[in-house]
Structure formats: structure tokens, C-alpha cells
Structure 1
């Protein structure tokens, strides 16, 4: 009977070691299939001015920029944040700050993350943790919680989209106090 116990134990132990060996080989094979994901370009202390027909449309300041233009879905990353000033046709400014930003080539979308603050010269301020900017339509949007402060009052909500000058605002699930006396 002791022979059958040893045989039974051997049948249990051998497959276990085989699984460990296969698992180890599988992880090595996975590693071999990974390509190096490194930026094709890198820049420090960015101060970029975008002009159109001799007019400044935007000024972008960032401590670091990483360019991933050679990957399958190209993008530019600002891992240490951005300070962006947008100008309208009349020279009015909108200010955008975020701890991290990614601009996706071919989509005209910028993903702003971490302590995102957007304000204008009229005293409007929106604060959230993530905000997208559609550059083509000059439109901001998020489904995250936000705080909107204006000279009329403060409101809170979850989900908002608005034009870069705050003239058109669509908000969802809002609460707060707004002065309607004007």
C-alpha cells in the first residue's frame, strides 16, 4: 500500500511542477512579444506659441513634453502638467492648468487630468479631476464631478460640457447657489 501512496503523491506533485514551469515560460514569451514603448522625442521647458494669420491663438507652457508619434496611436504627453492660455478673436483669454495632459493626433482631443482648473477674465472658474478639450470645436467636457464658481455663485455637479468662453454651458446633476438678480 505504501507504493500506491507514493505513486499517488507523485501524480499530484509532477503536474504541479509542470504548471510552474509552463507559467514561467509563458511569462517569458509574453515579455519577448512586448515592444519598447519609449518616446521618439523629448523636450524640456516648453513655451509654444500657436499663431494663425499673425494672431496668437494659444500659448502652451510645460516643464516636459514626450512625443510618441511612432506608436500605432500617436500622441503627445505632458507628464508634469501644462499651463495653457487660449485667445479668442477679440483677444479675450481662457486659462487652463492641469497636472497631466495628453494630446491625441488625428482626434483633436486633449485629455487633461489632475487638479484641472479652467478660468477666464470674467471670473468664471471650473475645477475637476479630468476634462477633455475638443480643439476643433473649442469645446470642453467631462463626466467627472466638478465645481463651477462664477461672480453669480458656486455650483457643484457631475458631468458638464461648455464652450471655451463659458458662454454655452450644459451641466448635469448640479446643486448650489446662483444669484439670478441680473
Structure 2
């Protein structure tokens, strides 16, 4: 009788183990996503100082007190919610500086969207003021379709669109509203 009870206990234990093993799904992705909200960043970094290089030469730097990493999304991006300073360097290492209240870097497209009190200062002492400015890292191009004010050599021009390379040698200010151009003799 004792042998019969041991056999029944082993059989019941074996059945329970088999039921548990076959009832569990192998869903590693669901386990990894547990505790991560769909809208929450996958990472947070403080005091960021990113450097972008091309053929060993630093072409841009981006500094911000805080970065939120959303690389877990279908269209990955990084968000900089607390001020950003971006420096762009040409082949001669001359620096243009862009300041903004907020920025988003889109990984797949190479676009940086800077918003809020955007100020761009070039090595030639040209200054652009805007509420939004895009920087295309691949083409090294700046553009916006929001109102801008452009100051250069005492000239002040205002328009509704701006489109230029980072050197300001191939640019245009479209839909000019007003401006003051100094003429020297």
C-alpha cells in the first residue's frame, strides 16, 4: 500500500510539472517590456555631451542637461527637454553655435528639430533668431518655415522661411516681411 501511495504522488507531481511547463508561453519580448510604459523613454541621461564625427573630424557637438532615449520605438528618437547647445564645425574648424530651449534628434532621418528661442550665431557674426530650426546632419543644411530674423553686418531682415547651408554661402530668406539694409559708400 505504501508503494502504491508513492507511485501516485510521483505521478501527480509529474503531471503538475508537465502542465506547468506546457502552459507557459515563451514570450521573451513581453517579459522585457514588462514595467516599461509604451510612452516612457527607455533611458534617461544627464549632462550629455555628444560628438558627431565624419572621417575622424568632429563636425558637430550637442550639449544638454538632460536626454530622454526613445530608441525602443518604431521611429526612434532622442529628446532634449531642458535646453540644448549645438556647435557646428566647418572644414577649417570655424564654429557656428545654435541655442534652443528644446530639441529632438531623429535617428533614422538624421534631422535635428530645435524649438523655442532658437539663436544661431555664425563665425562671420551673422545671427539668426527663430522659434524653430531644423538641421539636416546628412546634408549639413539648416531650414525652417517659421518666422525668422536674420542679422548680418548691420542689416536686419525678417521673413517667414529660411533655407541655407551651415556656411551661409547658399541660403535664402523667403517671404521677406521687412528689413533694414545698410548701404555704405
TM over 0.5: same fold?
yes
Unmatched runs of 5 consecutive residues or more in structure 1:
1-34
- What's 1:57 paired with? 59
Are 2:162 and 1:160 aligned?
yes
Which of the residues 133, 136, 148 maps onto 2:135?
133
Are 2:152 and 1:178 aligned?
no
2:62, 2:90 → 1: CA distance? 15
Matches within 5 A, 1:68-107: 68-107=70-109
Structure 1 contact 84–97 (Cα < 8 Å) conserved: yes
Q: Counterpart of 1:129 in 2: which secondary structure?
A: strand
2:57, 2:180 → 1: CA distance? 38
Q: Counterpart of 2:75 in 1: which secondary structure?
A: coil
Matches within 5 A, 1:139-154: 139-154=141-156
1:71, 1:48 → 2: CA distance? 21
- So what's the TM-score if we normalise by structure 1? 0.76
2:98, 2:67 → 1: CA distance? 17
Root-mean-square deviation over aligned CA pairs = 1.5
Unmatched runs of 5 consecutive residues or more in structure 2:
1-36
How many residues get paired?
148
2:184, 2:139 → 1: CA distance? 32
Offset at residue 53 of structure 1 (A): 3.4
- So what's the TM-score if we normalise by structure 2? 0.75
Q: Counterpart of 1:44 in 2: which secondary structure?
A: strand
- What's 2:18 paired with? none
Q: Counterpart of 1:90 in 2: which secondary structure?
A: coil
1:97, 1:61 → 2: CA distance? 10
| Structure with bigger gyration radius | 2
Structure 1 contact 115–129 (Cα < 8 Å) conserved: yes
